[in-house]
């Protein structure tokens, strides 16, 4: 199963969108941009790791080490649940949401710090479908909700077809080993 790396609610929150007018378009772009982020970061985010979380709890035990802010997926966790704390004395993680049922594995994905860039990438893809350059200098100006941006064609990464600043905001490529 290929996971989306962000939920519609988080995209809308990051972009300052309160209404539902763009929900269908944004929802359609989430898996596309998630696939692009996987390629850009060179990581499929498809590995499951043993973890134990009891129903209604925000405490997780796991043998594998995870990063604070890392978003974790399991069908029994609300979307965009992430790791908020690590207690080295007890070896217990605290997560941002309570489990809705027993959890015996998690799938770690991106960090919450990457959600803003992913949201803007979704916004960029949406606007790219509907807006072309607005002047002779090849600058595209786009606005949605409270977000307004302008990108010169020279600022668009030719390999990934996103503004370079958004690719930089994602972080570094993950080196896959073995």
Give per-residue pLDDT as tens, 65-123: 999 999 999 999 999 999 999 999 999 999 999 999 999 999 999 999 999 999 999 99
- Rounded CA-CA distance 63/102 in Å is 17
Coil vs helix vs strand at 79: coil
For the ranges 6-15, 62-71, 130-139, 158-167, the lowest mean pLDDT is seen at 130-139
Tokens for 59, please give them: 């405490």
- Rounded CA-CA distance 50/137 in Å is 53
Residue from 110, 178, 122 nearest 147 by CA:
122
Give per-residue pLDDT as tens, 18-43: 999 999 999 999 999 999 999 999 99
Q: Residue ranges per domain, the chain?
A: 8-44+114-170, 49-111
What's the pTM value of the predicted model, to 2 decimals? Answer: 0.83
pLDDT at 133: 43
């Amino acid at each position: 199963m290929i996971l989306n790396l962000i939920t519609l609610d988080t995209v809308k929150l990051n972009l300052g969108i309160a209404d539902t007018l763009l929900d269908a378009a944004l929802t359609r772009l989430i898996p596309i941009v998630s696939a692009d982020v996987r390629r850009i970061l060179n990581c499929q985010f498809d590995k499951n790791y043993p973890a134990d979380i009891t129903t209604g709890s925000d405490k997780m035990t796991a043998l594998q080490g995870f990063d604070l802010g890392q978003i974790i997926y399991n069908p029994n966790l609300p979307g965009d649940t992430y790791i908020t704390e690590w207690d080295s004395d007890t070896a217990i993680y605290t997560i941002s949401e309570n489990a809705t049922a027993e959890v015996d594995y998690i799938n770690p994905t991106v960090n919450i710090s990457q959600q803003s860039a992913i949201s803007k990438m979704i916004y960029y893809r949406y606007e790219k479908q509907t807006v072309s350059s607005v002047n002779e200098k090849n600058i595209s100006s786009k606005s949605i909700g409270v977000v307004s941006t302008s990108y010169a064609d020279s600022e668009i990464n030719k390999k990934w077809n996103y503004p370079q600043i958004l690719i930089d905001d994602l972080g570094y490529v993950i080196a896959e080993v073995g």
